Structure formats: structure tokens, C-alpha cells
């Protein structure tokens, strides 16, 4: 054979190892480590500049902020979100059994802190229905609305039974104690790098919890929707007793409050079902229908004198200016610890989930542990300024991103507008009927598909391209609300395409297996 044409072949033989056998043959030992040593190595690997920049992320991203390109979208986004904060904040504060102005405080103080410490560019921090509802449960259990803001012998009250405690603390003191406890727990989780804990909460568990909370919220708002005066229930089976009280008092329904609630809900439904899908196809800025309902309800209440003539309950006194800093009641911290753990997990899970969605969609990174620090410090600061625990809002975060927000500069713009509300405009809403806020709450917890109608046209282009090359397009496991939204967005008005749907993925697989077999 010609040596020039000969092929060089190499034959290798390697045995099949088990992991333990491989370690024994090559004398491998797992290096010993300790939490203290790992922490020290982590500290040594970073200089003080990088430590400060990672702890206060605004230092890093603000220096790279492109003012000419980003400032206008951020201003528009911030103003839009601020408009949403007003009705949602006032409504969700009622879920926490606190004055409506607390919701505005939550949209100002914690948001301002999160601007410096957060890593997500698009989440909108503030009130969230489920978190406010959980806080309201604790407030109802440990407080009395008739208690004074100052009290004596508070340290002795902790050793008494819970029934005595309930007559010592005000709702605001209990709420701020919960906020402080949640902040402390989040800082502890940040210290031990426990951000990964939320992955233990399955999607099924979170969805089930949210659904149950939505039912709870709906029942809790019936009394305001109908203008009923019901006794507050505590303890187990509270929800069942509340329903029983509603049926007992149904004969005392306030007709005027019911009419106002009905009109408000009809307006909100009309916007969600008819106006919003069509407006969103032409403009990314949504109609501020909740704010319109709040302003309209306030004007009707003021000029028709609804509180005096029809005995409609209003939100009451709204103080002007910023709240005076007040130290939370440390005596309450042991009592609210267990409830605060649940609130901590729920608020962080919701926030980090929203942050991850936007980070993946827009191709940037977030730090889950830094988010714990940002939320913890925001809650601790908020506890000194009459705030409940914060969380990201699904609806506001989506609006902040879809309107064009690029960074958390939008949150600062929102804070500035809300500061104007707190300093000068707050008393205007004192005559706002509570039934209007209850209507907003009920509509905010209804099922939403979060489809962007303006993007449905892009989907239509994709379907056309597939059809042109003889590739069929199918929907699988498409829920009814999504199907209806797609129809309202006129996906199939162009051409003669039909909407082909399989109920489940198993049906789709079985169908195509039969198609292949028949060929």
C-alpha cells in the first residue's frame, strides 16, 4: 500500500465507570467548605466599588442611561402608572382595613427606595390585592378601629390574651408592625441568599392561593357594593359567617349605593371588553378608566350630595402633606411573625416572577437576592411612613412596560406626580363613595388574559407566512378568554383563514399520528 494514501487510525478504549469507582481510582476528595469560608472568599474577590455598585444598582445603570432616547418614554410611562396608582392604591388600602391615603403612601415611599436598590427595570412596586388582603386579616385580628394612636402599658399587652390585645393597638400600628416584620424577614433571606426558596412554590400552589384570595376579596367587597353595614368577623370560618351576615342584612340594601356600584361596573366592563382591545391596536397608552370612575364618582357624590341624602358611605378624611415618621410597635412583632412569613413569601414570589418575565422578554438580567434586599429595605422604610407590605402589581407592571418605559426612572416620575397629589389634591377625593372603590377592586381581580391586541396583527403575519409555504397553524389548549380576545382583535378578518383549535396537546398529537398513519 502506498504510504502516502495510508490512513492513520487511532483506537481508544475506556472502561465504563460508576461515579464512586471513578473517585476512588483517582483519589478524588470533595473539597471541604464552610459558610464562613465561602462568605470570606466572596468578600475578598470583590473590591469596595463593586460591592457598592451591586448593593445600589442605580449607580451602575444610571451612568449608562441614554437621556435623549429614554427620558421621554420613561416620563410617559411614569405618568401613566401614577394615574393607575391613585384608584388602585385607594381601593387596595381598604382591603387592608386602612384609610385610602395609605395606598398613595405605598406608591411613594417604598417606590422611591426601590429606585435605588432594585434590579428590575419594569416592575411597578406598590399595592397588590392579595398582599393587602393578607395584611388586612392581621389588622382585623389584632387591632381595634376605636383605639387611640398612643397608648399606655403596651409592653404588658403582649403578655395578655389576644382579645385584650385587640383593644390596644390601632389598625395603622398593626399594619406598620407587619410591614417592618416582612422587611426584616426579607433582609434575613437576603443575608443567607435564600432567593431560590421561591422556586419551591409550584405554579399550581400559587395559582390556587391567588384564586382563593380572589374569592375572599370578592366576598369582602359585597358589603360596600350593596351599602351594607356588617359586623366584623374574626377567627375560623370568617368567610362563611360573613356570607351569612350578608343574607341576614340583604333587606337593608342601600339602593343608591347599589346603583352607583352597578353603573361603575358596567363602565369598567364596557372599557375592558370593547374599548380597550380597539384602542390598544392604535395606541399603547391605555384609557385611565379607573381614574375616570374615581373622579366621576367623586364629582357626582359632591354635587348630588349623596352622603347626606342617600347615606352613601365615603372614604372620609384624607390628610394633606406627607405623613410624620413614626416608629412601628416593636411589641407587636412576635405576634405578627407567623402571618408575616406568609406575606413575605407571597409578595416576593409575585415580584420576582414579574421581574423574570420582563428580564427574559427584554434580554437583561436581574439579581433575585438583590431584589430581596430592595424589597426588604423598602418595607422597613415604609413601615415608618404608614405603609403596608409592598409587592409588584401585575397590571401596573405590564402597563409600565407596554407604554414604553425603559428604566425605573418611570417610577421616579410616578412618585413626583403622586407627591403633588399628597401635598395639594388629596382632600378632593374625600367624598368618593366606597362602593366605587369596591367596584374597581372586583374588576381588578377578574380573570385577564393579558393579550396585547396590537401584537395580534403580528401573529396574523406569522400565520400568513406559514400558510404560504403550506404549513398549517393550530391553537392548542386555548382558554376561552384568550379565544374571545383574539376574535375581538379581528385576527381573521383578513382573508379566509379559519381558527383551528385542539382542546389539549394530547388531542393534537393523536390527530397528527392518525394523519401520518393514514398516509
Task: Return the H-helix or E-strand segment holding 295.
Answer: helix 289-303
Q: What is the average pLDDT across 397-409?
A: 90
In whole angstroms, what is the distance from residue 79 CA to residue 400 CA? 9
Exposed / middle / buried, residue 206 (Cβ in 10 Å: 0-12, 13-18, 19+): middle
User: Is residue 506 scored above 80 in pLDDT?
Assistant: no
- Which pLDDT does position 153 carry in this prediction? 37
The 3-state DSSP class for residue 207 equals: helix
Instruction: Give the helix ranges, DSSP H, for 331-452.
Output: 333-362, 368-383, 394-402, 409-420, 434-444
Which grid coordinates are listed for 421? 397629589
Query: Is 426 found in the same domain as 289?
Result: yes
Give yes or no: residues 330 and 361 share one domain: yes
Mean pLDDT of 467-483: 73
Cell of 390: 409592598
Please calculate the CA angle 187-190-195 and round it to the nearest 5 degrees. 130
pLDDT average, residue stretch 182-201: 87
Beta bridge partners of 126: 391
CA distances from 32 to 20, 27, 35, 114, 179 (A): 18, 15, 11, 38, 39
Of the candidates 447, 479, 503, which is a domain's last residue? 447
List pLDDT tens digits, range 322-380: 999 999 999 999 999 999 999 999 999 889 988 888 887 788 999 999 999 999 999 99
Q: Are residues 405 and 458 in the same domain?
A: no
Same-domain check for residues 126 and 228: yes
Identify whether the C-beta of residue 104 lies closer than 8 Å to the C-beta of residue 85: yes
45's CB contacts (< 8 A; 6+ apart) are none
Run of H or E residues at 281: helix 276-282
Q: Which of 333, 55, 331 is nearest to 182 (CA)?
A: 333
The last residue of one of the domains, among 447, 468, 492, is 447
> What cell was used for 416?
413626583
Pick from 1-10, 11-20, 385-394, 443-452 the range whose average pLDDT is largest: 385-394
Q: What is the pLDDT of residue 111?
A: 97
pLDDT for residue 405 is more than 60: yes
% pLDDT > 70, the chain: 82
Residue 112 has pLDDT above 60, yes or no: yes
| Residue 222: inside a domain | yes
326 sits in the region (left: phi over 0; alpha: psi -120 to 50; else beta) called: beta
Residue 9: inside a domain: no
Supply the pLDDT for residue 38. 65
Confidence of residue 462 (pLDDT cuts 50, 70, 90): confident
- pLDDT higher than threshold 70 for residue 159: no
Residue 118 lies in a domain: yes
Dihedral (C-alpha) 72, 75, 81, 85: value to the nearest 10 degrees?
Answer: -170
Q: Predicted confidence band at 150 (pLDDT cuts at 50, 70, 90)?
A: very low
Q: Which pLDDT score, from 0 to 100, does residue 44 have?
A: 62
Q: Are residues 360 and 488 in the same domain?
A: no
Query: 269-311: per-residue pLDDT in tens?
Result: 999 888 888 887 788 788 899 999 999 999 999 999 999 999 9
Report the first-to-last Cα separation within the chain, whole angstroms.
52
In whole angstroms, what is the distance from residue 306 CA to residue 426 CA? 19
Q: Evaluate whether residue 28 is within a structural domain.
A: no
Nearest partner of 352 among 163, 120, 187, judged by Cα: 120
- The answer as to whether 4 is a domain residue is no
What pLDDT does 416 receive?
96
Q: pLDDT by residue (tens digit) across 134-144? A: 999 999 999 87
pLDDT at 156: 40
458 lies in the same domain as 424: no
pLDDT of residue 18: 75
User: Does the structure show a pLDDT above 80 at 165?
Assistant: no
Question: Are 419 and 359 found together in one domain?
Answer: yes
Same domain flag for 470 and 399: no
Partners of 392 in the β-ladder: 125
**265 near 442, Cβ under 8 Å?**
yes
Residue 285 belongs to a domain? yes
Model confidence at 458, in pLDDT bands (50, 70, 90)?
low
Residue environment code for 274-307, b if the CB has 16+ CB neighbours within 10 A, otherwise e: eebbebbbeebbbebbbbebbbebbebbeeeebb
Residues 180 and 315 in one domain: yes
Is the pLDDT confidence value at 218 over 80?
yes
Answer whether 114's CB lies under 8 Å from 125's CB. yes
267 has a pLDDT exceeding 50: yes
Tell me the three cell numbers of residue 461: 403575519
3-class SS of residue 472: coil
CA distances from 127 to 66, 116, 219, 320, 358 (A): 30, 19, 20, 20, 19
Q: Is the pLDDT of residue 412 over 60?
A: yes
Question: How many domains are there within the chain?
Answer: 2
Q: Quick one: 512 and 433 in the same domain? A: no
Domain membership of residue 42 (yes or no) is no
User: How many whole angstroms separate alpha carbon 383 and alpha carbon 313?
Assistant: 28
268/373 same-domain check: yes
- 208 lies in a domain? yes
Phi then psi for residue 476, to 5 deg, are -125, 130
Contact 446, 111 (CB under 8 A): no
Q: Are strands 391-392 and 125-126 parallel, antiparallel or unpaired?
A: antiparallel
pLDDT at 492: 45
Going by C-alpha positions, the residue among 136, 30, 138, 41 that lies closest to residue 93 is: 136
Q: Are residues 495 and 394 in the same domain?
A: no
- Nearest of 331, 326, 330 to residue 164 by alpha carbon: 331
Q: Which residues of 24-55 are buried (b: 16+ CB within 10 A; e: fewer)?
A: eeeeeeeeeeeeeeeeeeeeeeeeeeeeebbe
The 10s digit of each residue's pLDDT in 416-435 is: 999 999 999 999 999 999 99
Q: Determine the Cα–Cα distance for residues 197 and 441; give it in Å rounded to an integer.
A: 30
Domain boundary among 389, 416, 447: 447
What is the pTM for the complete model shown? 0.77
Average pLDDT, the chain: 84
What is the domain range of residue 514? 453-518
Amino acid at each position: 500500500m502506498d504510504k502516502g494514501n495510508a490512513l492513520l487510525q487511532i483506537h481508544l478504549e475506556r472502561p465504563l465507570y460508576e461515579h464512586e469507582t471513578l473517585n476512588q481510582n483517582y483519589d478524588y476528595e470533595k473539597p471541604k467548605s464552610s459558610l464562613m469560608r465561602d462568605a470570606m472568599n466572596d468578600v475578598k474577590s470583590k473590591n469596595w466599588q463593586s460591592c457598592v455598585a451591586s448593593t445600589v444598582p442605580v449607580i451602575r445603570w444610571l451612568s449608562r442611561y441614554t437621556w435623549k432616547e429614554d427620558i421621554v418614554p420613561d416620563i410617559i410611562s411614569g405618568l401613566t402608572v401614577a394615574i393607575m396608582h391613585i384608584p388602585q392604591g385607594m381601593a387596595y388600602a381598604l382591603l387592608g382595613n386602612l384609610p385610602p391615603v395609605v395606598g398613595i403612601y405605598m406608591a411613594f415611599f417604598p417606590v422611591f427606595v426601590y429606585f435605588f436598590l432594585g434590579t428590575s427595570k419594569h416592575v411597578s412596586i406598590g399595592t397588590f390585592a392579595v398582599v393587602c388582603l393578607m395584611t388586612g386579616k392581621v389588622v382585623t385580628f389584632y387591632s381595634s378601629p376605636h383605639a387611640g394612636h398612643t397608648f399606655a402599658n403596651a409592653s404588658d399587652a403582649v403578655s395578655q390574651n389576644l382579645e385584650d390585645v385587640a383593644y390596644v393597638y390601632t389598625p395603622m400600628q398593626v399594619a406598620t408592625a407587619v410591614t417592618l416584620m416582612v422587611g426584616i424577614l426579607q433582609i434575613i433571606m437576603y443575608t443567607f441568599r435564600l432567593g431560590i426558596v421561591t422556586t419551591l412554590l409550584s405554579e399550581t400552589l400559587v395559582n390556587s392561593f391567588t384564586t382563593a384570595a380572589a374569592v375572599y376579596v370578592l366576598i369582602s367587597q359585597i358589603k360596600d357594593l350593596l351599602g351594607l353595614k356588617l359586623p366584623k368577623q374574626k377567627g375560623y370560618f370568617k368567610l362563611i359567617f360573613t356570607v351569612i351576615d350578608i343574607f341576614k342584612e340583604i333587606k337593608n340594601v342601600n339602593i343608591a349605593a347599589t346603583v352607583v356600584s352597578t353603573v361603575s361596573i358596567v363602565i369598567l366592563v364596557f372599557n375592558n371588553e370593547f374599548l380597550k382591545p380597539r384602542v390598544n391596536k392604535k395606541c399603547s397608552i391605555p384609557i385611565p378608566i379607573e381614574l375616570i370612575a374615581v373622579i366621576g364618582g367623586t364629582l357626582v357624590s359632591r354635587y348630588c350630595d349623596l352622603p347626606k341624602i342617600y347615606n352613601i358611605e365615603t372614604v372620609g378624611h384624607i390628610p394633606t402633606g406627607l405623613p410624620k415618621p413614626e416608629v412601628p410597635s416593636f411589641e407587636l412583632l412576635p405576634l405578627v411573625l407567623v402571618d408575616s412569613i406568609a406575606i413575605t413569601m407571597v409578595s416576593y414570589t409575585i415580584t420576582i416572577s414579574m421581574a423574570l418575565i420582563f428580564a427574559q422578554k427584554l434580554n437583561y438580567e436581574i439579581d433575585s437576592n438583590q431584589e430581596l434586599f430592595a424589597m426588604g429595605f423598602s418595607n422597613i422604610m415604609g413601615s415608618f411612613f404608614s405603609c403596608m407590605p409592598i409587592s409588584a402589581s401585575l397590571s401596573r407592571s405590564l402597563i409600565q412596560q407596554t407604554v414604553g418605559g425603559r428604566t425605573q426612572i418611570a417610577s421616579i416620575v410616578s412618585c413626583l406626580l403622586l407627591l403633588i397629589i399628597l401635598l395639594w389634591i388629596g382632600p378632593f377625593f374625600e367624598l368618593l363613595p366606597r362602593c366605587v372603590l369596591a367596584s374597581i377592586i372586583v374588576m381588578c381581580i377578574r380573570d385577564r388574559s393579558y393579550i396585547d391586541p396590537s401584537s395580534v396583527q403580528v401573529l396574523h403575519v406569522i400565520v400568513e407566512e406559514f400558510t404560504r409555504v403550506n404549513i398549517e397553524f393550530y391553537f392548542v389548549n386555548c382558554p376561552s378568554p384568550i379565544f374571545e380576545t383574539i376574535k375581538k382583535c379581528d385576527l381573521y378578518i383578513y382573508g379566509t383563514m379559519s381558527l383551528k383549535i385542539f382542546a389539549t396537546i394530547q388531542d393534537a398529537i393523536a390527530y397528527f399520528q392518525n394523519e401520518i398513519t393514514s398516509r
